[in-house]
Chains A and B, each alone.
Chain A
Amino acid sequence: MMPRAYVPQALARQPWQVIIPLTALTLFGGTVLYSAAGGRLTPWAGMHVARFFGFLVMAMLLARVPQDWFKRVALPGYAVLCALLVLVELIGRIGGGSQRWLNLGFMTLQPSELMKPGIVLVLAWFYAMLPLNEVRAWRAIVPPLVMLAIPAGLVMLQPDLGTALAISFGALMMMFIAGLPLWLFVGGGLGAAIVAPIMFFFVMHDYQRKRVLVFLDPESDPLGSGYHITQSKIAIGSGGIFGKGFGNGSQSHLDYLPEAHTDFVFATMAEEWGMVGGLFVLAVFAVVLSWGLNVALRAPDRFSRLLAAGMVTTIFFYVCINMMMVMGLAPVVGIPLPFLSHGGSSMMTNMICIGTIMAVDRWSRQRPRGLG
């Protein structure tokens, strides 16, 4: 990209093709939250937009960090996050309840959120360090699985199934694109397909089985666990093509929609903005994710390739699971929708992912693309 003379270079070099859509999406999220709060900026909309710009600055700064620093911080950072997860667990035990965050005074820190980019970073570092001829040996498989098992296990203990799944998904995708033998994944997939029914019929408790059944047919329990999905589908379906209009969403305003400002914000949006709004959201994510993948493909070396692709995967997992959940295609797990859902931790995670991809983008412009 040729910077034009009258734009300062630092500005011109920013990836505006992703910052502008993201900003639009976040502002759109702000209007949805404004409406969900009954036409007020507090408590959600104002904070949401302010946080975005704050974290955008952070992402831009992150983009200027040299690759060495990323590599150097990967393993210690991972260790610290694991320690924090243990700490959270201990505090929760002492406090007599489950706790997911640490109160830092000025903000609450949710270590499991940071672990999502953290696992991607440490695995990218690991596979970049790994001698190439060992990619198909056990040393390429077992250590990453251990690195995955520790945080995923700790998060499951919280218990937070959604985040544990996100961490696992990120790690597995890293192993996939790192070039581990395909049969591992095919075999694993087949194994899961065989084990799942066995689990369902012989291992699961009745209440767990019921949950699965309700997921498959939410209408069978409209007042119990199927309630969320049913109400969300009603919100989206009743919005139609153009929606009920800004501020007219009865499902969210009359409290039928649970978590209307966090996990189910897409339903809140779709009710008022209709399918058009939904397609806009999808389009922005398509732009962001395809930009990320392009950055990954253009990246100068193995570490940055894996890092960028892993970050894209992490964002994708959020988007995919959340939207499948609100439209009744996935079970209800607490995963917010990036840039629309209200919430500081997830906003920070997603902006770390964006900032990291921006950093990779920067490295590839500084260095001509080599073989790795």
Chain B
Amino acid sequence: MKKSEKLPMTAARLTQTFERRTFLLGAVQGGVGLLLAGRLGYLAVAENAKYRAASESNRVNLSLIPPRRGWVLDRNGNALASNRADFRVDLIPDRLIDPDATLATLKGLLDLPDDHMADIKDKIGKSRGFQPVEVASKLEWDKFAAVSVRLPELPGVIPQRGYSRFYPAGAAVGHLVGYVGPASADDYVREHNPLLITPGFKIGKDALEKAFEVRLRGVPGARRVEATASGRVVRELGTREDVPGQPVQLTIHAGLQEYAARRMGLESGSVVVMDCLTGDVLAMVSMPCYDPNSFSDGIGRIEWKMLSEDDHVPLRNKVLRGLYPPGSTVKPMVALSFLEAGLDPHATVNCAGGLRVGNRVFHCWNHHGHGTTDMMKGIYQSCDVYFYHFAQQIGMDTIATMMRRMGLGGEFPLPYPGQSYGTVPDPAWKLRKYHKEWAVYDTVNATIGQGYMLVNPLQQAVYVSRLASGLKHMPRIVLDRHAPPPPSMGFAQDHLDLVHAAMNEVVNGRGTAGKARIPIPGVLMAGKTGTAQVVGLNMGNGKGGEWKRRDHGHFICFAPFDKPRYAAAVVVEHGGGSGAAYPIARDVMTYLFDQTKAMAVLDDYERQWGGTLQQRMAAKYAAYAAKYGATAPAAPEDEAANQAANQDDRDDEPATPQTDAASPAPEPDPAPIATPLPAAPAPTPTGGTTQ
């Protein structure tokens, strides 16, 4: 204070400075105050509408309710795919705050096994963040409630009640109907629809579910709720009901489909049954198959390991994508082509067990020979020499034309992508494909369904139904009761009668499939066996040994033989011959006439096989889960899964054309029903030649 008295001017100047600067400070403060008031006015008045809208969109949460998917029905209105109300829990990876803690809590609450947890973590890793990931579905109420009450500490977890897809017949309809699953990132790119990333919504992933996606999907409902930032619903504001998807009714007979699938037992193969009056497909079975119910919950790692390691290729629809040399099943239509070409059915050839063609001898399957053989005997005894002989006379072009008329080598307008349509070889085809001239032995091979010939089981079914009815059936899978009747094939009735009679003889007379007789009084089934070599005879006899090298077994049939009503084609992969195929055909056909009898037979078999389809699959899954647990590698995405299942059979050519002298060896007896062998899938040759 002394100093200020000594230098009053400085002190006064300082005070002045202070006052000036304090005024400046005050002015700045006032300015800031005005700025703030202006900003407040700008936000609250000028921009009010914009922020009001933003606040409203914060407050009101519009959540979509996934529509109930349309049912898939069989021809009688039974459900092949329906919906079941269930409790489910999803999570949205983006909204997780502490993913590890949340997952650990869920694991405890829902009692999830390790492999399932690993699957969820994979899915979270692959998800685009905003895509919901299914944690569990088909939950019991108390587990669902346990998650619901813990919701405040589980941000990003969405428990809800909804509907899940249900396939009552399980694996029996897997390849037929397909399955559903959450939309993939690609789906969302293709169709930028918020429904696709709604928890609980599934789209069709395969087969009909995919093909009829638009029709089955329906219109989502919506729920307007007031929700907090973390998604907790404060109150409901209003709900719009969903509109369920349209049903799709199929020509399939649900009972038959399931029966055929179960009757395949432990074998790998397919059964196709068609209606001879309309061309409706009554059953289309490819076994073994995945269970679409568990596939629709997401393909787990255990399940994937189990299916992808199975040499019976459960992921492939063998009806449409399996290609096989048809073997002797082509003989009836080859005979028909002979008749149309003017061959006298009574013309005979002497079968001495083989025929010299050029400098090679082509053997008949019966090395002892059939003796004097006419057309009837050629068919019912399946005499190769008869066909070797007359095929050379008639020529391959005539035979190939008949085969194509019957539907072989053709693709059918069915709602399934990627049918493998195989090959009907003829001289022009060979020149185009291999730049080689057609040789006589090519005709010889083709005429007994070997060599370059490849067909799929659906084509065989179409062939037999056209042969049985004389009508140009196009296979139909979607029921249309007003479809015009199929046109005639233009066959002469006496030609058909002769071939039918010969095929009747196969089963009910002196033929190769006497044990295929169906136990229904007054109903006679006609059929034709076929055995297709997988490897050359030098590598094995095709009957026993390594499964992969055994012959494929074929059987085509229709009943009643004099008034064809149903036609069926059965293929058993590596069944060791047609003896594996015709008992299945017999029982399936029996089912159409007498379900009780057929079921009794099936029950017997299933007891030996270790339970029903579901029970066997569950047991196998449990064994895998116990063995591998979470250590199994992750399952690929659905699209990749489909590709993996089908990539190995995209080629329509046989890997190694069997141009050998193809003479299927005698076929073993099927296991008799009364005293079935313990190892039913591997029939032991008994020496009896029933061909």
Contacts and interface: CB of A to CB of B under 8 A. Distances in A.
A77 to B, nearest CB: 23
A253 to B, nearest CB: 8
Nearest to A257: B229
B37 interface: yes
A236 B40 contact: yes
B40 A279 contact: yes
Interface string B467-504: 00000000000000000000000000000000000000
B18 interface: yes
A28 to B, nearest CB: 16
B59 interface: yes
Contacts of A293: 22, 25-26, 29
Interface string A267-286: 00011001100110010011
A133 B7 contact: yes
A236 to B, nearest CB: 5
Contact of A297 (B19, B32, B40): B19
Interface stretch (A114-122, A323-331, A349-357): A323-331
Given A241-B45, A278-B44, A254 B229 contact: yes
Interface stretch (B48-56, B335-343, B451-459): B48-56
Contacts of A239: 44
B85 interface: no
Nearest to B94: A223
B25 A236 contact: no
Interface stretch (B8-16, B302-310, B568-576): B8-16
B639 interface: no
Interface residues of B, number: 46
Contacts of A296: 22
Task: Describe A's contact surface by its main secondary structure.
Answer: helix
A316 B47 contact: no
Interface stretch (A51-59, A149-157, A171-179): A171-179
B216 to A, nearest CB: 35
Contact of A302 (B7, B14, B29, B45): B14
B640 interface: no
A316 B27 CA distance: 12
Contacts of A312: 25
A126 interface: no
Nearest to B55: A238
B227 interface: yes
Most buried by A among B21, B41, B59: B21
Interface string A215-252: 00000000000000001011111111100000000110
A132 B52 CA distance: 58
B192 interface: no
A132 B8 CA distance: 10
Contacts of B44: 236-237, 239-241, 270, 274-275, 278
B268 to A, nearest CB: 52
Contacts of A179: 14, 17-18, 21
Given A301-B1, A302-B4, 19 more contacts: A132-B11, A177-B18, A179-B21, A234-B58, A235-B55, A238-B56, A240-B45, A240-B48, A254-B227, A254-B234, A274-B44, A275-B41, A285-B33, A296-B22, A302-B18, A309-B18, A313-B25, A327-B39, A371-B15
6 contacts: A132-B7, A177-B18, A177-B21, A177-B22, A302-B15, A371-B12
